[in-house]
Structure 1
Amino acid sequence: MFKKNLTKIVASVAALGAGVAATTAVANADTVYTVQSGDTLSGISMKFAKDTNHVNELAQKNNIKDVNVIYVGQRLLITSDGQIEQATAKQAATLPSANNTANTNSSSYTSSVSGSEAAAKAWIAARESGGNYGATNGQYIGKYQLSASYLGGDYSPANQERVADQYVASRYGSWQNAQAHWQANGWY
């Protein structure tokens, strides 16, 4: 009799522990991300999962036919394991928004380039990413396709602008010189 009751108690405690663990994982980690202008599926994957190797899988889970096409306002569920799924209306209404947890280590930045320098900067951005802050190509990230190591994990538009200006100033002296290098070599 004692052994039988002990088995029931152990099973009950184990079930209770598993239930608490499952509830905790769902309650604490799931958020909804609303696609914003300039976002890409690979950029969102990099932002939340720190990995772009699963973009095709994410597209398939979300019924996204073309990995290069997502829409502003589209809601994606970000789960505790970094997986991205289509958010239901109920989830969007009850879960916290990931858009409110923007990178806090960046501040607003206004580039000081103007005139022909700004035109050269825009020309490079158009060639590198089509002007898309969320563009990725291997280790190269964002509007100016900077090495991820240069960005230090902060892929915000403000940091991309700041780092691009610093990189070009230190390497080429000006955006016009960087553009001339790009035209001669196909990269800057």
Structure 2
Amino acid sequence: MKSLKTILFATTLTAGLGIFMGTTDAHADSLYTVKSGDTLSTISHQFSGDNSMIDLIAKDNHISNINMIFEGEQLTIRTAEEAAQAPVQQEAAQQTVQAPVQATEVPAAPVAQETAPEAAVTTSSAKEWIAQKESSGSYGATNGKYIGRYQLDASYLNGDYSEANQERVADSYVAGRYGSWEAAQSFWMANGWY
């Protein structure tokens, strides 16, 4: 009887260890580094075979302009299983959020007016902080292919190095890539660039 228990225990232990050692996390995200010529469409095709993941990749990586990604940027790509579940989860979240809004009827305009001046102050300080780190605030600064106050790639400026265009392109770049100057500043502090 003892030998039967020993055999059963050893078999169970071996099978459990084999299953444990042989499994991988089916929910592991992939980290993808953007290469020259990549678009969200080509990346989506690479992972899913179609364009179905474009919006999901943009959402997961806080990309507000799906036509603007940058070489060397690292994107988190969900596995096919997680990507298929995302629309269901998003619909449930939207339904949950919409119900309280319809029931409470709180006017949004006064809230936006109260917070706007504070947001403008923090945005300008984060923007100025980045300008000082990148070029000591000089619109004429150059560093190889990087031009101006925000050290933008010359290709983004399309030959127009004016102060107004540098401001406009920098705002567009930061909004598209980070969503805000504060987020860009946080990224800069963590990585030494933005």
What is the TM-score with the length of structure 1 in the denominator?
0.40
- Which has the larger helix fraction? 2
TM-score by length of 2: 0.39
Between structure 1 and structure 2, the one with the greater Rg is 2
